[in-house]
């Protein structure tokens, strides 16, 4: 579960003493809603997945109950099962499960709006979304809403896709479409649809919203939209991968039940509406498994909740196996692609909160295949970690599952600095745009605000010159302004190269044995990727207390501190390449080059005060605070 902000916890506290949400109509009616969100092709994960959903669905239907099966988006993309068929395998599985309606998440648009329209033709469930061509009032899906009838009771289901889709899927994928992205537009759209479904006789209003609760989604989070509207009974959410079940008051001070199941089939959501009340359960296991006749790696029988779904997935995976199971490399170290730190004994950051070794590896691969000076890729594009052991082509596809290409740009240093400021604006909070970099080293002052957070920027050991032009490798998602990186797509940036897909770049980099960068098929625990928290390319500091990712690893010390005339720097485990001294505003005052494990330098020309010393070693960058007396 993602860490929730103080504001969100205040919302949660509002509902902590109430487990049920009172409805105003249809007493005696019972409905079970099974719901999922952000499955991302994890169709058989955690002993749940689609087999379990179908088993629960079929059991309820057999008992004569009213059932709806709903998904809040991001289902067709994430693993090769969906990526290699551009979503068609996922649609076939969902048809068999018995889904009734979905909303479209931002990643449903990763293959373009034309693919959405193609997939819609094969869907036996209803894709409901506010996405539509600019200037029209027709949904790209099956409609903005649908009213389901159960005897004398009607349930209106409205679909709402996040306006972030315009930047969190490749922007060119949705050119000409609107997601009600203007100030107040989304709430106004939703209020109109609530009025429409009530006019159609709906007793209950359910919103399928791919909106989320993360700060980067302000002002269109579910917790922003509910208080700005009235008339919603249940909002089934997605996008932020949060497990939550709470009550939030709408504009008329009426409680709305807000739920989300986390992600990756961690849980199946089960909402039961009975006697005008609602209760949410999270299903984590389904009893009564069936023996498939197959054996696992330990020779034990493989069990499933539904044999039909199991066999469908098995056949689909068999078609992909020859390509995906090919070994391409071996890693001696855990390569950290987590969104945030969940195991602080092993690492302290995830790819969306700080530098990681998988982020370094990925950015190096982009720079390697493009021969650019630097590389910047968004941490949100890294979708999984790599465990110690063999690495297959399928594993690397799971790291970069979006099918994006490597793009080489020519950009002024001022725009690169702008990109770093933008990407680090929320650090160390979770942000999909957090940068993983190659050829760059810089410091983020977490107690400052953008545009004055990023300082001490080095390009391959040399201070960034805002007036110089650099070659930059990135992905085609960011190159056209994805995740809000408009500085990559404005007039000052020019595209000069288009290379392989990102997963192919990883394969090329890790397998090459001819280039000086080549890893010869092995990621060594003693190499530059040996630390899951990265090489030390990005450091977080605070004017009051300097915090380093790899303080123990670098073992760099500065003595005679406070000092009057000279300082000595020691780095017993790595050679010192450069030393930079900055004032607290980030202005470079002195620069020294060296190639030793220790160095002594004069600071007699500095005024009395506090300074930051940037020490570039062969293991990474370290920052120390000194006092000049």
How far apart CA 209 and CA 156 sit, in angstroms, is 14
- What is the average pLDDT value for the chain, to the nearest integer? 89
CB-CB contact of 564 with 585 (8 Å): no
State whether residue 343 is helix, strand or coil: coil
Residue 9's pLDDT is: 38
pLDDT tens string 69-87: 999 999 998 888 888 889 9
In whole angstroms, what separates CA 118 from the centre of its chain? Answer: 26
How far apart CA 38 and CA 383 sit, in angstroms, is 12
Residue 1's pLDDT is: 32
Indicate whether 2 pLDDT > 60: no
State whether residue 263 is helix, strand or coil: coil
DSSP secondary structure string, 483-545? GG-GGGTSTT-EEEEEEEEHHHHHHHHHH--SSTT--TTEE-TTSTT-STT-SSSEEEE-SSS
CB-CB contact of 529 with 361 (8 Å): yes
Residue 426's pLDDT is: 94
More confident residue, 9 or 476: 476
CB-CB contact of 467 with 414 (8 Å): yes
Confidence of residue 475 (pLDDT cuts 50, 70, 90): very high
The mean pLDDT of 587-615, rounded to a whole number, is 84
Instruction: Determine which helix (DSSP H) or strand (DSSP E) holds 252, and give its type and residue range.
Output: none
How far apart CA 424 and CA 164 sit, in angstroms, is 18
pLDDT tens string 530-551: 989 888 889 888 765 554 434 4
How far apart CA 1 and CA 4 sit, in angstroms, is 9
Helix-, strand-, coil-residue percentages of the chain, each rounded to 5: 25, 30, 40
Percent with pLDDT over 70 in the chain = 91
Residue of 168, 258, 158 lying closest to 213 (CA atoms): 258
CB-CB contact of 328 with 511 (8 Å): yes
The mean pLDDT of 562-582, rounded to a whole number, is 85
Indicate whether 356 pLDDT > 70: yes
Structural domains of the chain ordered from first start: 6-283 (3.60.21.10), 325-537 (3.90.780.10), 550-628 (2.60.40.1930)
Residue 97's pLDDT is: 98
Residue 276's pLDDT is: 74
């Amino acid at each position: 579960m993602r860490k929730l902000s103080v504001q969100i916890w205040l919302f949660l506290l509002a509902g902590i003493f109430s487990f049920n949400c009172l409805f105003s109509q249809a007493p005696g009616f019972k409905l079970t809603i099974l719901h999922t969100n952000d499955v991302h092709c994890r169709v058989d994960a955690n002993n749940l997945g689609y087999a379990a959903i179908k088993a629960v669905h079929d059991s309820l239907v057999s008992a004569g109950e009213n059932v709806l099966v709903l998904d809040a988006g991001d289902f067709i993309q994430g693993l090769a099962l969906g990526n290699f068929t551009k979503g068609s395998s996922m649609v076939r599985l969902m048809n068999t499960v018995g889904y009734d309606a979905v909303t479209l998440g931002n990643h449903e648009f990763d293959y373009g709006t034309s693919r959405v329209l193609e997939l819609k033709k094969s869907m036996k469930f209803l894709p409901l979304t506010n996405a539509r061509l600019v200037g029209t009032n027709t949904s790209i899906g099956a409609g903005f809403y649908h009213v389901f009838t159960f005897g004398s009771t009607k349930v209106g289901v409205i679909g709402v896709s996040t306006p972030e889709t315009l930047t969190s899927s490749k922007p060119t994928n949705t050119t000409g479409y609107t997601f009600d992205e203007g100030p107040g537009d989304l709430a106004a759209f939703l209020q109109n649809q609530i009025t429409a479904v009530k006019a159609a006789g709906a007793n209950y209003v359910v919103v399928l919203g791919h909106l989320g609760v993360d700060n980067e989604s302000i002002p269109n989070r579910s917790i922003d939209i509910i208080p700005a509207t009235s008339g919603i009974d249940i909002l089934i959410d997605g996008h932020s991968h949060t497990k939550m079940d709470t009550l939030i008051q709408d504009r008329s001070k009426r409680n709305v039940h807000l739920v989300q199941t986390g992600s990756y089939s961690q849980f199946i959501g089960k909402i039961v509406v009975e006697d005008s009340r609602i209760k949410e359960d999270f299903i984590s296991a389904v009893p009564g498994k069936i023996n498939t006749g197959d054996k696992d790696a330990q020779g034990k029988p493989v069990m499933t909740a539904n044999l039909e779904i199991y066999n469908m997935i098995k056949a689909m995976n068999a078609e992909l196996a020859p390509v995906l199971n090919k070994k391409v490399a071996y890693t001696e170290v855990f390569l950290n692609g987590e969104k945030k730190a969940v195991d602080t004994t092993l690492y302290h950051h995830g790819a969306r909160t700080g530098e990681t070794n998988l982020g370094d590896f990925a950015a190096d691969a982009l720079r390697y295949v493009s021969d650019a000076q630097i590389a910047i890729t968004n941490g949100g594009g890294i979708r999984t970690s790599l465990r110690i052991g063999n690495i297959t082509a399928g594993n690397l596809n799971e790291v970069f599952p979006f099918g994006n290409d490597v793009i080489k740009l020519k950009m002024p240093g001022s725009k690169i600095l702008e990109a770093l400021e933008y990407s680090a604006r929320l650090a160390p909070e979770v942000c999909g745009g957090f940068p993983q970099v190659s050829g760059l080293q810089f410091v983020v002052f977490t107690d400052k605000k953008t545009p004055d957070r990023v300082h001490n920027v080095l390009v391959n050991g040399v201070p960034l010159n805002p007036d110089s032009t650099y070659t930059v490798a990135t992905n085609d998602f960011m190159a056209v302004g994805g995740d809000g990186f408009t500085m990559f797509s404005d007039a000052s940036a020019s595209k000069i190269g288009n290379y392989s897909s990102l997963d192919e770049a990883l394969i090329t980099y890790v397998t090459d044995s001819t280039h000086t960068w080549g890893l010869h098929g092995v990621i060594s625990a003693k190499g530059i990727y040996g630390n899951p928290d990265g090489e030390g390319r990005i450091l977080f500091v605070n004017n009051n207390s300097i915090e380093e990712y790899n303080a123990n690893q670098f073992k760099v010390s500065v003595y005679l501190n406070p000092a009057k005339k000279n300082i000595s720097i020691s780095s017993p485990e790595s050679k010192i390449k450069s030393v930079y001294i900055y004032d607290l505003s980030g202005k470079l005052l002195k620069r020294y080059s060296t190639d030793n494990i220790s160095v002594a330098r004069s600071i007699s020309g500095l005024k009395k005060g506090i300074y930051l010393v940037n020490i570039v070693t062969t293991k990474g960058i370290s920052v120390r605070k000194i006092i000049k007396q």
